[in-house]
Amino acid sequence: MRDLETLSAYRVLTRRTVSELNSEGYVLEHKKSGARLFLLSNEDDNKVFSIGFRTPPYDSTGVPHILEHSVLCGSEKFPVKDPFVELVKGSLNTFLNAMTYPDKTVYPIASTNEKDFHNLMDVYMDAVLHPNIYKEEKIFRQEGWHYELESEDGPLTYNGVVYNEMKGAFSSPESVLDRLIQQTLFPDTCYGVESGGDPKNIPDLTYEQFLNFHRTYYHPSNSFIYLYGDMDMAEKLEWLDQEYLSHYDRNDREARIDSHIPMQKGFDAPKEVEAAYSITEEEDEENGCYLSISDVVGTDLDPKLYVAFQILEYA
């Protein structure tokens, strides 16, 4: 593999052998755009690419989740209505998805076929940076929420892909409890709201707020790009620079992104919270109560503490 130090568009920050994965690891920065890249070069023929953005939500309208769906509904270079569905049907991928977390949104793909892998990279990079959402408001209405009237004298209802998906998520008492625990433990951070979208709040999201979230966070200076497997890393980095990253400047107004997530301050005293969840007419209320006792212990960035508490939870 060519020495990545010779690539003028990038700055190599770290290089280290990762023996557990039989890989050579690199951390790089794209000089012009500020994009951060993490590479694991090895002999695994299952090649992996991911681009992710830190996307801390400011409310429970589900804007990161709706955006995750929407950017995969056509882009500048790939203007078909639903390229994601087309890829699922026709690609040789071994993995293809997109996920919204409480603090980030990631777009991972994998394939053992070099040409297919390169095509998937191109589709995903164009999707996140040049989506059709600015040309087609109907994408937001379809994936987020819209009014629906089945007949002239019928009730006016809400509909939408994410709206319906989250109605399903909120119908599970375990899911409701998990969300309540996180929001109670971290009330002053992005973890105190629902990144997936609370059905009662999703209809509060406007089209302009939706677009502004993309303008704010979907910039290479706020991105993390990951490459893994047996490939010409220098070639992939040069392609990323020429096709996408070199078109952005970290000093652009849009690139001045504050996606920092503050630590939650400790409580003065324990908190008690009660909440209700929905049941069907057939379900019995008796023995339907859930109880959780929860504490915050350190952070996920302490590997020993993280593993220790995983073992303790399991025990």
- Active centre residues (catalytic): 68, 143
Q: How far apart are the first and last CA of the chain?
A: 45
One-letter amino acid for residue 190 of the chain: C
Question: Measured between alpha carbons, how far is 226 from 212 in angstroms, rounded to an integer?
Answer: 26
Question: Measured between alpha carbons, how far is 47 from 177 in angstroms, rounded to an integer?
Answer: 37
Question: Measured between alpha carbons, how far is 120 from 81 in angstroms, rounded to an integer?
Answer: 16
Strands (E), 88-222: 93-96, 99-100, 104-111, 146-148, 157-159
- Angle between the 114-129 and 233-243 helix axes, to the nearest 10 degrees? 30
The full 3-state SS of 181-210, as one line of letters, equals HHHHHCCCCHHHCCCCCCCCCHHHCCHHHH
Spell out the residues 6+ positions from residue 136 whose beta carbon is closer than 8 angstroms to its own: 73, 74
The token duo for 271 is: 């908190």
Buried/exposed code over 251-278 (b: 16+ C-beta within 10 A; e: otherwise): eeeeeebeeeeeeeeeeeeeeeeeeeee
**How many Cβ atoms sit within 10 Å of the Cβ of residue 80?**
13
**Do the beta carbons of residue 264 and residue 187 sit within 8 Å?**
yes
The token duo for 83 is: 């390229």
Residue keyed to tokens 């557990």? 20
The token duo for 298 is: 């350190």
